[in-house]
Structure 1
């Protein structure tokens, strides 16, 4: 099979011929149809996440069809279309796993980080951590649901039920969670880089009531804000526009250093919290909700050999919505 291989920080992914992997106990062998590109992939490639296995096939928003199953992996029938998320496996025995918080497992393994991912023609995955793909979602549109959608959904739940929601960084996760928030009857206020007229127009098209730069104050005080951009300076910016008792949620796996800020921004029983990974329950809830809305994903397709170009386009903000690698 062909795969895009990461061999170390500072090196582009290499298009490589590799043996098709064999499914082990509890695993599925999948033919990859599409794999979404995530900012986490950039954090791995740039060395900001420091524990990847090497060499590594990145990619953790995988849509594929079942080719074969290892012993005990027959949860899905041959040919079934399934999704593989970031959370690839957990121990099942630690305090967090036993208390319904497997996203905080002490010894997790992550797809496209410690486990080879979906920038390839085939991959293997733990069948217990795969999801059936909702009918009606083509592969290209389904892939972003598996991380951008899931993390966005978990972040929205963490933000509480306030009617006015701010979103900082209007990319893959934001354009999906905006649709969920609007379905719930909330108002969305979108914050982008200064001068990003295309991103602000995209936010309005997705249902945002207002869109402006991160330096601006929205026309209304917000009940909560979610920060998807990996920029620590957005934390005090978001606290400034959230009402007393409001919540600021950091929705990324990595963020630059948060600058010092005065206590008055946090005072008034404002809360600052992070979202880590996801649980399988998150996946089941969100993938059941998506077709009810229905969520429309905006995705730009790249062939497998162009994965480096796709990653650079993500870095530059060259597209709206999500990017997806299509191996076929």
Structure 2
């Protein structure tokens, strides 16, 4: 097998030949069909997230075919197509795991961060944290659902059931979850980098009721806003855009510092909440909803050895949709 390896923070990934992986007890090995490139991968490579496993194969939006099964694996067989998300393992016995909040586990493992991920021809995963993808016939289009879709879904649930939703940062997650919003009958307001007419036109093409720069106010106050861009200054902007009792959801794992803002834009029971990781229940819910909602992810394909180029294009905001690596 071979994979793209991060040897040190803030250095390019290196294509390396590696020994054949063998699944341990409770694990499966996948032949990777596609692995989407997530902004969290950038945060790992750029050192925004502390203490990754090094050397490391990044990537946590994985679709592949099971080609080896370890002992005591139940419900998965060689030849099954499955997805592997960010949450790779939890302890199962801390207060969070026992109370249904495994996304907050005290001793988790994360795919492509504290265990090797999918920028490779093969990956080993804990079988309890992979998801069957019966009926998902296109691995490239499905790969972004494994994080952009799942975190987008968790963020939307956290936003509540208001009829108007603002999406700040119109990338992979926003373009997927907007399709769910439209299917639910909500109106969507898309906020992009100022003057980014390409992204605004992309949002309109998917049914946005309004699209404009993040420095603009929407034409009406919103029930909720979800911030996918890792920009702390968007929190005060979003607070100004939501109505009384509105909620601002921060959907990213990392964000720049939040500037001070006047209490009056938080007052009247507006809320700021964060979303951390995901639960297996989120995946079960979203993977059942996505086909019903007709979700179609827009992708830009890169060969595996062009992972550095894909990361650079994401960093510079050149992507419309999601980058996907093809081994």
Between the aligned partners of 2:179 and 2:134, the Cα distance in structure 1 is 17
Partner of 1:166: 166
Asked if the contact 2:136–2:142 (Cα under 8 Å) also holds between the matched residues in 1, the reply is no
Asked if the contact 1:134–1:291 (Cα under 8 Å) also holds between the matched residues in 2, the reply is no
Partner of 2:246: 246
Asked if the contact 2:176–2:297 (Cα under 8 Å) also holds between the matched residues in 1, the reply is yes
Between the aligned partners of 1:270 and 1:237, the Cα distance in structure 2 is 13
Partner of 1:186: 186
Q: Matches of residues 120-139 of structure 1 in structure 2 within 5 Å?
A: 120-139=120-139
Corresponding residue SS for 1:302 = strand
Q: CA deviation at 1:137?
A: 3.8
Partner of 1:326: 326
Q: CA deviation at 1:259?
A: 0.3
Q: CA deviation at 1:9?
A: 1.4
Asked if the contact 1:52–1:114 (Cα under 8 Å) also holds between the matched residues in 2, the reply is yes
Q: CA deviation at 1:136?
A: 4.0
Q: CA deviation at 1:206?
A: 1.3
- Aligned-residue CA RMSD in angstroms? 0.7
Partner of 1:14: 14
* Cα deviations by residue, 1:220-270 (Å, 9 ceiling, x for unpaired): 110000000000000000000100000000000000000000100110000
Q: Matches of residues 67-216 of structure 1 in structure 2 within 5 Å?
A: 67-216=67-216
Q: CA deviation at 1:316?
A: 1.1
Corresponding residue SS for 2:113 = coil
Between the aligned partners of 2:75 and 2:52, the Cα distance in structure 1 is 28
* Cα deviations by residue, 1:99-122 (Å, 9 ceiling, x for unpaired): 111001011100000110000000
Between the aligned partners of 1:222 and 1:142, the Cα distance in structure 2 is 30
Q: Matches of residues 59-74 of structure 1 in structure 2 within 5 Å?
A: 59-74=59-74
Corresponding residue SS for 2:174 = helix
Moved more, 82-91 or 126-135: 126-135
Asked if the contact 1:134–1:287 (Cα under 8 Å) also holds between the matched residues in 2, the reply is no
Corresponding residue SS for 2:238 = helix
Q: CA deviation at 1:202?
A: 0.5
Q: CA deviation at 1:75?
A: 2.5
Q: CA deviation at 1:10?
A: 2.0
Between the aligned partners of 1:66 and 1:119, the Cα distance in structure 2 is 16
Between the aligned partners of 1:125 and 1:74, the Cα distance in structure 2 is 14
Does the alignment pair 1:309 with 2:302? no
Asked if the contact 2:81–2:134 (Cα under 8 Å) also holds between the matched residues in 1, the reply is no
How many residues of Structure 1 are paired with residues of Structure 2 in the alignment? 327
* Cα deviations by residue, 1:250-302 (Å, 9 ceiling, x for unpaired): 00000000000010011000010000000000000000001111101101110
Q: Matches of residues 255-270 of structure 1 in structure 2 within 5 Å?
A: 255-270=255-270
Q: Matches of residues 290-305 of structure 1 in structure 2 within 5 Å?
A: 290-305=290-305
Corresponding residue SS for 2:33 = strand
Structure 2: 5+ residue stretches without partners: none
Between the aligned partners of 1:122 and 1:226, the Cα distance in structure 2 is 34
Partner of 1:5: 5
Between the aligned partners of 2:289 and 2:134, the Cα distance in structure 1 is 10
